[in-house]
Amino acid sequence: MKVAVVGVTGMVGRVMLKVLEEHQFPISELIAVASQRSIGKEIVFKESTYKVMGMQQAIDAKPDLALFSAGGSTSLEWAPKFAEVNCTVVDNSSAWRMDPNKKLIVPEINAQELTAADKIIANPNCSTIQMVMALAPLQKEYGIQRIVVSTYQSVSGTGKDAVEQMLNERKGTDSPKVYPHTIDMNCLPHCDVFFDNGYTKEELKLLNETRKILNDDTIAVTATAVRVPVKGGHSESINLTLKNEFTIEKVKQLIGEMPGVVLLDKPAENQYPMPLTAEGKDEVFVGRVRRDESFPNSLNLWVVADNLRKGAATNAVQIAQYLVSNHLLKTSNTAVV
């Protein structure tokens, strides 16, 4: 199978390569793609070296699958051109997520919606993915009335320049600023751009994407997204109101049985999810599960995941794996199943 990784030199692109190798994804030919300034650079995959090429050259190679992590404007321009040569695109940007004609997929929740006709498939936002992974089994069992979520998002969610800013600030070295303020030893209640209603784009993603993935526009969602001085791994404090009564024991059972979720909830033994817990792992970690005694049918959760893996690269690769295993991806190598 010919697989293109678009944005291969970025943080998510490099993790995509790692996840493709770890998951033993069937690749006969890797097509490494990046922006004009990266053409000719070399990347290593499975101990082989590949030269980075541009978009049109990649399209001319007619890949079977393209994993995009190159920004919304790039995806809007180029994903349809890849699709025109019968390439299936899994896109990690926000470009297609709320398009009513495109599927927004977390494989453990709604992969069954996919068909062979889906040529551009949207990968959700990192903070949305980990939240719905924890909430999907509770929605199925009880129904969800309202979600109040506060995120604690690492600087890697902004990209490698943001990581460099934080590390340079930590060393006392001057460097270009990605954020409007110092991020090290600080917290910024500012993820993405602000809208007229006072919410940021990141906060509204949590609202809109959650409803689409869980297929329920009645769920009330309000969010506050905060950037914290952590290199990798997003954390979320979630207050949840369910439509029906529950027991904490049953809630923990449902979360623990959800594929791709690890219940780590032994606070008396100092065991609870942290960014260091999730680093380098594909699973979503859930802990601090407790009843909200201030409001009926409500509870609190603490949810942590590696934002570059399940929040981006791993979810995209899992979508591709589902397509292959269910014979929904037309390939140039008919031996691949």
Q: Which pLDDT belongs to residue 53?
A: 97
- pLDDT above 70: percentage of residues in the chain: 98
Packing angle, helices 126-142 and 201-214, rounded to 10: 40
Q: Which pLDDT belongs to residue 337?
A: 32
The CATH number of the structural domain formed by 127-306 is 3.30.360.10
Residue 332 pLDDT > 70, yes or no? no
Neighbouring C-alpha atoms within 13 Å toward the C-beta of 75: 24
Q: Which pLDDT belongs to residue 31?
A: 98
Q: What is the mean pLDDT of residues 289-293?
A: 98
Is CATH 3.40.50.720 the right assignment for the domain spanning 2-95+312-325?
yes
Q: Which pLDDT belongs to residue 217?
A: 97
Q: Which pLDDT belongs to residue 174?
A: 87
Catalytic amino acids? 126, 234
Residue 335 pLDDT > 80, yes or no? no
Q: Which pLDDT belongs to residue 336?
A: 38
What average pLDDT does the chain have?
A: 96
**CB proximity list for 287: less than 8 A, separation 6 or greater:** 263, 264, 265, 267, 271, 272, 273, 301, 302, 304
Q: What is the mean pLDDT of residues 54-60?
A: 97
Q: Which pLDDT belongs to residue 175?
A: 85
- pLDDT above 90: percentage of residues in the chain: 96
Q: pLDDT tens digits for 83-124? A: 999 999 999 999 999 999 999 999 999 999 999 999 999 999
Q: pLDDT tens digits for 245-269? A: 999 999 999 999 999 999 999 999 9
User: Is the pLDDT higher at 337 or at 71?
Assistant: 71
Q: pLDDT tens digits for 6-48? A: 999 999 999 999 999 999 999 999 999 999 999 999 999 999 9
Q: Where are the domains of the chain?
A: 2-95+312-325, 127-306
Q: What is the mean pLDDT of residues 188-193?
A: 97
Q: What is the mean pLDDT of residues 125-134?
A: 98
Whole-model pTM: value is: 0.95
Residue 334 pLDDT > 70, yes or no? no
